[in-house]
């Protein structure tokens, strides 16, 4: 694999315990970054303790918890160079007109508001230092709209739009913000979907397969590096040819 140099960098990865987040954590570590793993899964974080020194139980939809976790991270490590907003949920596969209000709010709170809160709290630390890399994990659903996943599609569309705003607002600060928009990726989250929904996702993909967590992690690692220097507010598709715009 290409060598990404993140030596001396400190990175927060949200949703770090499983799937894409776990792969991103491993790739950033391999590149030399010091990881602070955030997740709501306390047992999962404890199981990572031997390989990831920094870990904090955080509900990213709770602004108070996010602010407390950032304060803890700054006190412990002195600097925050990288933020990977990966934590998210899909929600129940339900037609939009029947979508439960409580499920809608939960998906939007975690996937969109959680990303906003993490950026709003971490980015000022980066601006003060004159350097930072923010990578938000969005989804092809946020560009196309996936039937039966109205809340997830809407939240990820919000993540894409928010990233564009953040990238433009911070463009002269040394802080770069981009997002990755994967199609369906080989994770437990994907396989927990309705089989018909998953089949349609694969069928739409010209490569006729799921992406891998390592493919997401490799793109994310580059976006988190100093080599990514003239792209900000951008959406990087990872869709096997599915994305058309």
* Number of Cα atoms under 13 Å in the Cβ half of residue 79: 14
- 164 token code pair: 């564009």
Q: Which of 77, 99, 131, 152 is catalytic?
A: 152
Q: Cα(145)–Cα(156) distance, rounded to whole angstroms?
A: 9
Strands (E) in 53-185, as ranges, are: 54-57, 82-85, 132-137, 175-182
How far apart are the C-alpha atoms of 203 and 197, rounded to whole Å? 10
Q: How many helices (H) and strands (E) does the chain have?
A: 10, 7
Q: Is 209 helix (H, G, I), strand (E, B) or coil?
A: coil
Q: Following DSSP, what letter does each residue of 154-192 receive, concatenated? A: HHHHHHHHHHHHHHHHTTTTTEEEEEEEE-SBSSHHHHT
Angle at which helices 114-129 and 150-169 cross, to 10°: 20
Please confirm, yes or no, whether 131 is among the known catalytic residues. Answer: no
Q: Which residues are tagged catalytic?
A: 152
């Amino acid at each position: 694999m290409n060598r990404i140099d993140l030596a001396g960098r400190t990175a927060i990865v949200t949703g770090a315990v499983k799937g894409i987040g776990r792969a991103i954590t491993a790739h950033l570590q391999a590149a030399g970054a010091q990881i602070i793993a955030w997740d709501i899964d306390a047992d999962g974080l404890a199981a990572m303790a031997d390989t990831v020194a920094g870990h904090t139980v955080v509900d990213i939809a709770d602004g108070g918890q996010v602010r407390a976790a950032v304060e803890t991270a700054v006190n412990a490590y002195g600097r925050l160079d990288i933020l990977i907003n990966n934590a998210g949920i899909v929600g129940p596969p339900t037609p939009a007109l029947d979508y439960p209000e409580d499920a809608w709010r939960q998906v939007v709170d975690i996937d969109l508001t959680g990303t906003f809160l993490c950026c709003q709290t971490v980015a000022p630390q980066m601006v003060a230092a004159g350097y930072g890399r923010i990578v938000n994990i969005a989804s092809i659903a946020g560009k196309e709209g996936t039937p039966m996943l109205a809340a997830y599609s809407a939240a990820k569309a919000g993540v894409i739009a928010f990233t564009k705003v953040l990238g433009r607002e911070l463009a002269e600060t040394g802080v770069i913000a981009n997002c990755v928009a994967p199609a369906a990726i080989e994770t437990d989250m994907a396989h927990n979907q309705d089989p018909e929904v998953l089949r349609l996702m694969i069928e739409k993909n010209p490569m006729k397969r799921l992406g891998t967590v390592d493919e997401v992690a490799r793109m994310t690692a580059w976006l988190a590096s100093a080599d990514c220097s003239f792209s900000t507010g951008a959406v990087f598709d990872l869709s096997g040819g599915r994305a058309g715009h």
